[in-house]
Structure 1
Amino acid sequence: MTPTEIKGRSLRTILPEGTDEGSISVDLIDEAKGQAAQNLDRYITATKAWFNTKLAPHSFVPGDKVLRWVLNPEKLQNKWEGPFMVTQTSTRGAYCLAELDGALLPHPWNTEALKKYYM
């Protein structure tokens, strides 16, 4: 057993005379696990904060023209189709759409599948 010292974030330590090497290493492992969990929590919090700054919340009002995401686009097919007219807003970001000629679409669409259409 060679004496070492604690430097920075190292887990190396000097063992006092007459101590059991096994009990100290278990304590160091538990301490390292706790520190790793704290680091992971900080990383997750920072990543969420950064990602949320990049989100652009958007909402639509009746009369807006929007494009709708194609559910299963083929290889060379456009990923957006439309334009459609927003006819009604619902709770939690759901919108009822109609084609420009007035035909209603069968079910509401979520905000994430829509984007504003500019002529």
Structure 2
Amino acid sequence: MRRLGTRKLSAMLPNVLAAWLLTEWLWPLEDVTDTAHIRVFAAFVALCFGMYWLRLPIWLSALGKAGYIWWSLAWLFSFHSAASLPYALWRDGAAWLQEGRLSMPSDAVRTFAFFLLLWPSRFCFIG
């Protein structure tokens, strides 16, 4: 039994250290940029590492992460219904691309892009 506990601890330690390092990088973003609600992003990083540590099937992990992104975007930007979220992101992203990208994309599009950048970040730390 002791060997199993040692093996689990040695498998968990790199995950915890990598998640801690990534969240330490996230906290100053609130001061440096106009990014708010850093706790939502830090919770997403913890969710990503937790799902990896639990060795969930990739389809279940992707479903959980997509659900968290969906919920957080609906919560942060007060969409009237979660069903209108994909259309709103598509509309805002297309409008930004058609304007010649002279202006900034909407906050919802930028937040969605940030989540998409954080999603594979676990692969940078753990092989």
Q: TM-score range by the shorter chain?
A: under 0.3
Q: Which entry has the higher C-alpha Rg, 1 or 2?
A: 1
If the length of structure 2 is used for normalisation, what is the TM-score?
0.23
Pick the structure with more strand per residue: 1
